[in-house]
Amino acid sequence: MSSELNQPVPRPGILDIAAYVPGKEHAPGVARVFKLSSNETPMGPSPRAIEAFRQGAGHLELYPDGQAMALREAIAEKYGLNLSNILCGNGSDELLGLLCHVYLSPGDEAVITEHGFLVYKIQIMGAGATPVVAKEKDCTVDVDAVLAAVTPKTKIVFIANPGNPTGTYVAASEIRRLHAGLPKHVLLVLDAAYAEYVRRNDYEAGIELVSSARNVVMTRTFSKVYGLAALRIGWIYAPAAIIDAMNRVRGPFNLNAPAIAAGAAAIRDQDFVDKAVEHNLLWIDKLTHALTDLGLKVTPSVANFVLMHFPDVDGKRAADADAFLTSRGYILRAVKGYGFANSLRMTIGSEEANRGVIETLGEFMGRKA
Ligand SMILES: *Cc1c(COP(=O)(O)O)cnc(C)c1O
């Protein structure tokens, strides 16, 4: 490297980061498009959230409440949590980034899993630290592999539960075993972005474990079941010392006012969430069966999407299916970047969208759906 630099130079490692690529939105030349690539809900947001957002439009000259009090109160009330253990973020993505910013230094390591959410890796590298990948087993987090990946340099372990793009989950007892095996200074991050969708007796989003430990946090989002992805609202439930550290570096007004109002209204509309979850459960089941009947392998999902695996046969691979579906207006997510070269992830859509995908994939596979 020349000693005279002719332009600003990013910190070491920044230019090694591959920027996040969001789900496709467009199908060129197709009139009607069903976007099933970003795990957005087909139900939209609660009408109460929309109304709260509209009311916020009358006061755009005012700074928002930097404590997001109305939203934190609504969250605390719903889950019976202490207000001081809740911090809101501009999407949970911001909170994941803040955790890396606060707890990682160059030379540190953070453990992620084989098919884990790509944002973790980006934020770990952004902090100058090194991501260490633990293998998964049957598209599911393997607690033993995660524990084996921990070294004296490890500072954070990231677990998405349920996982994205797999849709699988780790039982509460296994999460507790993982926590028990970690040194007390290692932070365990439980990313429960899809928790509301899970209907399993042995699942916990993480509230109980956070409440009883000093090195566990749980992140949640309003982007998925609440249908407020556009507003960017996430929250974290964490021990006071962790909230305190994050509060020192976050943007002072990291949530905008209409988002605070809409989020608070949304979390109080449980009927709306129940309907969305009911629709999702019905279609997870129907899609899993229908796609399996077409000869595809489907990873069992507890979230609002399914991961389907294609045959390793010319003309029948995931890339071929992706092109076939896109040309007919059905946009799914290619998941190569997540270690699935021959698979697609499909978000559960409206009845019309779901039926359309089944029919179109039936055509693609040369079978009747
Ligand atoms: C969608 C998603 C999030 C949520 O991100 P937001 O920034 O809150 O929109 C977090 N983690 C995982 C695994 C996700 O799939």
The pLDDT confidence band at residue 93, using thresholds 50, 70 and 90, is: very high
Which of residues 3 and 70 earns the better pLDDT score?
Answer: 70
The angle formed by the CA atoms of residues 368, 334 and 159, to the nearest 5 degrees, is 115
26-30, 214-218, 356-360: the lowest-pLDDT one: 26-30
Q: Are 257 and 270 in contact (CB under 8 A)?
A: no
Give 273-276 contacts, CB < 8 A, sequence gap 24+: 273/46, 273/196, 273/225, 273/226, 275/43, 276/41, 276/43, 276/225, 276/227
Mean local confidence (pLDDT), 109-118? 96
Reported as a single tens digit per residue, the pLDDT across 272-323 is: 999 999 999 999 999 999 999 999 999 999 999 999 999 999 999 999 999 9
CATH (residue range 14-39+271-365): 3.90.1150.10
Give 267-272 contacts, CB < 8 A, sequence gap 24+: 267/71, 267/74, 267/75, 267/78, 267/222, 267/226, 268/48, 268/74, 268/78, 269/46, 269/48, 269/49, 272/43, 272/46, 272/47, 272/48
The rounded Å distance from CA 195 to ligand 1 centre is 11
For residue 369, pLDDT over 60 is answered with: no
For residue 23, pLDDT over 90 is answered with: no
**Atom of ligand 1 at shortest range from CA of 38:** 1
Q: Are 345 and 332 in contact (CB under 8 A)?
A: yes
Residue with CA at minimum distance from ligand 1 atom 1: 193
Mean local confidence (pLDDT), 146-153? 98
pLDDT of amino acid 1 = 53
Reported as a single tens digit per residue, the pLDDT across 214-227 is: 999 999 999 999 99
| DSSP letters for 130-186 | EEEEEPEETTEE-HHHHHHH--TTEEEEEEESS-TTT-----HHHHHHHHHHS-TTS
Give the type of residue at 205: A
**Atom of ligand 1 at shortest range from CA of 117:** 13
How far apart CA 104 and CA 126 sit, in angstroms, is 10
pLDDT of amino acid 29 = 86
Residue with CA at minimum distance from ligand 1 atom 3: 193
Beta bridge partners of 299: 307
pLDDT of amino acid 2 = 52
Backbone phi, psi, residue 99, to 5°? -60, -45
CATH architecture of 47-268: 3-Layer(aba) Sandwich (3.40)
Residue with CA at minimum distance from ligand 1 atom 12: 193
The pLDDT mean for the chain works out to 96
Give 315-319 contacts, CB < 8 A, sequence gap 24+: 316/364, 316/365, 317/342, 318/342, 318/343, 318/344
pTM score of the predicted model: 0.96
Structure tokens at 52: 């709260």
pLDDT of amino acid 4 = 73
Reported as a single tens digit per residue, the pLDDT across 170-197 is: 999 999 999 999 999 999 999 999 999 9
The pLDDT confidence band at residue 256, using thresholds 50, 70 and 90, is: very high
The pLDDT confidence band at residue 27, using thresholds 50, 70 and 90, is: confident
The rounded Å distance from CA 62 to ligand 1 centre is 28
**Atom of ligand 1 at shortest range from CA of 94:** 7
pLDDT of amino acid 109 = 98
pLDDT of amino acid 28 = 83
The rounded Å distance from CA 92 to ligand 1 centre is 6
For residue 21, pLDDT over 90 is answered with: no
Peptide bond into 165 cis (omega under 30): yes
The rounded Å distance from CA 233 to ligand 1 centre is 10
Domain residue ranges of the chain, discontinuous segments joined by +: 14-39+271-365, 47-268
| DSSP letters for 236-298 | EE--HHHHHHHHHHS-TT-S-HHHHHHHHHHHT-HHHHHHHHHHHHHHHHHHHHHHHHTT-EE
Cβ neighbours around 29 below 10 Å, total:
8
The rounded Å distance from CA 213 to ligand 1 centre is 24
For residue 253, pLDDT over 80 is answered with: yes
Q: Map tokens 């598209």 to a residue.
A: 139
**Atom of ligand 1 at shortest range from CA of 234:** 8
Q: Are 181 and 157 in contact (CB under 8 A)?
A: no
Q: Are 298 and 308 in contact (CB under 8 A)?
A: yes
47-268 shares the fold of 14-39+271-365: no
21-30, 71-80, 91-100, 112-121: the lowest-pLDDT one: 21-30
Q: Give the binding-site residues of ligand 1, using a 6 Å CB cut-off.
A: 39, 91-93, 117, 160, 164, 191, 193, 221, 223-224, 229, 234
How far apart CA 181 and CA 91 sit, in angstroms, is 30
Q: Are 90 and 234 in contact (CB under 8 A)?
A: yes
The rounded Å distance from CA 153 to ligand 1 centre is 27
The pLDDT confidence band at residue 3, using thresholds 50, 70 and 90, is: low
